[in-house]
Structure formats: C-alpha cells, structure tokens
Amino acid sequence: MKQALCVAVMILAAMSLHAQQSSETKQNANSNANEIKDQKAAEPYRFVLVVRETKEGKVINSRSYSWMEQVGNQKSESTIKVGDRVPIAVAAINTEKNVAPLSTQYQYIDVGTNIRCTAHIEGEEISLDMRIDLSSVLEGQTGTGSGLYNLPPVVTQTLSDIQPVLHIGKPTTIFSLDDPMSKGHLEGELTVTKLKE
C-alpha cells in the first residue's frame, strides 16, 4: 500500500514538473516572438552634416560630411575620422648640458574632424546620440628649432555631445556656437533622408 502511494506521488510530481516546463517553454517562445515582431528591419539612410564657419555674418568656411547607415529601432553606430596625427615632443635625451637633444620622443594627437553617431528610429523621427569633435592647429604657433626647444603646437577644439531628434528629410540645426577666440560663429546642420530600395 505504502509502495503504491509513493509511486502515485512520484507520478504526480513528474506530471506537475512537465506541465511547468511546458508552460515556461511556451512563455519564452511567445516572448521571443514578440521581440522579433517589435524589431523593425533596418533600412538605409543618408546623413549629411554641413558645418559652416561665419564671421561678421559672412560664411568663411563650409565643410560637408556624408555617410550612409542602416537604421532600425535597434541602435546602430557610425564613426568618421578625417585629419592628421600631429607629433608633440614629450621627452628629449642628451648627454651634455646646454646642448640640443640627440634624440626626441614624440606622442601623436589626432587633429581634424571626428564624428560618432548612434541612431535609431522612433516612429516618424530619428533619434541620435552624437559626438562631434572639430580641432585644428593654429598656423604659426609651432615655433622653430628641434626637440623640446620647439614650441608645442596650439590646438583649437570644438566638442559637442548632443542627442538631437530629427524629422526625416528636414534640415535641422543641431549646434550653434560662438568662438570667443576668433570672434566667429560655428553652426552644424544635419539632414537625414531615407534611401529608396
């Protein structure tokens, strides 16, 4: 009698465990299906960033950066780097005092345009997380000579960390800055358009 009762209890426990596992499997399958349904297929978009530098109301410099990116409702990221690597003397080796160094050690810094853009679709708009780093070496500021006797370069920098939300196809000013050094003005306009398949 006791043996039969133990067998019955074991059978009921096994059936309960099987039912629970089946329920969890079904829930996981439904969850995965909903996630796939919610994910919007990535589509091709063109990004055009125009950076204008003005002084006293006149455009003195204009640069355009264009790239394509597959964008959906999952985040995608693009990076653009344009410029030079500028050497800076960080150490000099010599054997005598008051004598120019026999050798010099350098470190290099990136100077130019660095753009990082993360994008995803939100309804009829596109949401961005951008870092735009614009830098240059001032002319005539690097001095003469050699090694550590040479003046280090003076680097100007404009850095923007922004999270704009754009209407697709509409040009939008995403940053507008005054330069206190040059008394000029810097403005960035971004246009995102959907490419036809």
Q: What is the mean pLDDT of residues 94-123?
A: 80
Half-sphere exposure of 102 (CA within 13 A, CB side): 5
Residue 77 Cα distances to 65, 69, 120, 125, 192, angstroms: 16, 8, 9, 17, 15
Q: N- to C-terminal Cα distance for the chain?
A: 74
pLDDT bracket for residue 137 (50, 70, 90): confident
- Asked if 105 and 90 count as a contact pair (C-beta separation under 8 A), the reply is yes
Q: What is the mean pLDDT of residues 153-169?
A: 90
Indicate yes or no: pTM above 0.75: no
> Is the pLDDT score of 131 beyond 50?
yes
> Is the pLDDT score of 98 beyond 90?
no
Confidence (pLDDT) at 6: 53
> Is the pLDDT score of 85 beyond 80?
yes
Confidence (pLDDT) at 168: 92
Q: Render 96-159 in DSSP notation, one character per residue.
A: STTS--SEEEEEEEEEEEEEEEEEEEETTEEEEEEEEEEEEEPTT-S-SSSGGGSPPPPEEEEE
Q: What is the mean pLDDT of residues 12-40?
A: 55
> Is the pLDDT score of 12 beyond 80?
no
Domain boundaries, the chain: 1-38, 39-194
pLDDT bracket for residue 118 (50, 70, 90): very high
Confidence (pLDDT) at 95: 59
